[in-house]
Chain A
């Protein structure tokens, strides 16, 4: 909350400020109307839906293999994680056994994707805070190295469509292992650089400590998830609490914050990146040769009637796929549970009472992807 300042001695008039939808600090096409009293925010009304393309409806018209591409177009900064939720849902519903190698490769790619997504966050967030064009360039240097690897594997920088119900689209390149080790070295350097540039930086601390705090109880009530929830001290990580893939077989820590403020949301993400590196190193040790698709996979995949709510821990939180099948080769209903939508709902609570300049920092700290919010 804002301390008692001399500004409050003057009478000010309440004013509505429109921010977005075309605004560089809204990380996409997002609009919010801020009510301000002087420099202090008194009300926030978010407007979303500018990127709504009806992905759920479209998925109802496509067979299970085609749906993978649509997942990429919702969560475009963590595509592997989004694809994973979808293929796991289809596999569990259809009762497909996935070969071990495919699962380990998926795990490695999802954690690498978490790194690239968090690098995007540190870069963009540094810019939100105001003075660190440097952080942006350093982050993107590391992110680009990761994207190069993804391109070598999948053929595309962003829209991978690499996971399939049952396994992977094709085998990874021969030099996969050496390339992952190279990329990890550069990622570790990047994490160190970010730590040095931001974590101890006086100006950064002044802009982020104690800003936009939300309590654990409120965060749960709003349905927040991922690093934004863990920053408030709730140790909820689906990789540990609702395990999928081979996460029970690797060691990693669930990082939590204490204050639930902007700084903690940043710091949890940064520490989480080190855990991702740890997970990938363990996966690389376990990765063995083997098939990447089950031997018997029907040309046209059908599932028995039934339903599933599959959830995975994406970089921004719980990415859920609610899949209802009435038999046949396409979903009867597919709902995408967006982590950012729930996190964004809590924005109003976090922002009211802070300065206008902090509104941008608070929005940046929940790391939204508007395509995922609007679907």
Chain B
């Protein structure tokens, strides 16, 4: 698989060539082999890719299967979950991002999955790495993503009863600036 937009662009052939050249310098061939049977698309577009690591997109339904396949000690052996986070893309949905590392081979790969706005649900990766536990709790409280099968989905950093707003969403405003008025504290009108 190369790029999806390759054929449509006027200089389609050169875009596809550039994508192939970029992937040849990454570990995509090995990752592709490890992910056989899973819909995986490498990110080759220059505006989206990472400066140092390979990014692979996987649909939400297959994320945990993909992670488990990559974790396999016989294969790529990505045994270390560096970080798990999310990026809010507003109406396009929420990207859940997994940064994996292999202690043995020292390879890095980033797995991304786009969740649609009306269905922010993905299976929990806690069964693959225990490290995912707190990371998923944080993404859950900050973005409102539900991780199915998480053993303890309470809030992590926010107060436990604050379950109805999600601070790291782009739609969530920063706190308003407090201005001193006389002896009390009042709020300035409008948002920051």
Contacts and interface: CB of A to CB of B under 8 A. Distances in A.
B131 A223 contact: yes
Nearest to B132: A223
B88 interface: yes
Interface residues of A, number: 39
| A contacts with B: majority SS | mixed
Contact of A306 (B47, B88, B129, B167): B47
B168 A56 contact: yes
A306 B79 contact: no
Nearest to A61: B174
A130 interface: no
Given A57-B167, A93-B51, A306-B50, A241 B106 contact: yes
A221 B157 contact: no
A91 to B, nearest CB: 10
Nearest to B128: A221
A335 B83 CA distance: 9
A304 B49 CA distance: 11
B46 interface: yes
B87 A221 contact: no
- Chain B interface bracket (under 10, 10 to 19, 20 to 34, 35 or more): 35 or more
Contact of A48 (B82, B103, B157): B157
Nearest to B129: A221
A46 B55 CA distance: 33
A285 B22 CA distance: 39
A223 B47 contact: no
B157 A52 contact: yes
Nearest to A307: B50
Contacts of B53: 309
Contact of A320 (B49, B83, B155): B83
Interface in A282-305: 304-305
A311 interface: yes
Contacts of B85: 322, 335
A333 B85 CA distance: 10
12 contacts: A49-B155, A49-B157, A49-B158, A61-B192, A93-B51, A221-B130, A306-B51, A309-B52, A310-B52, A322-B83, A342-B134, A345-B130
Interface of A: 48-49, 52, 54, 56-58, 61, 92-93, 220-223, 234, 236, 241-242, 304-311, 318, 320, 322, 324, 332-333, 335, 337, 341-342, 345, 374-375
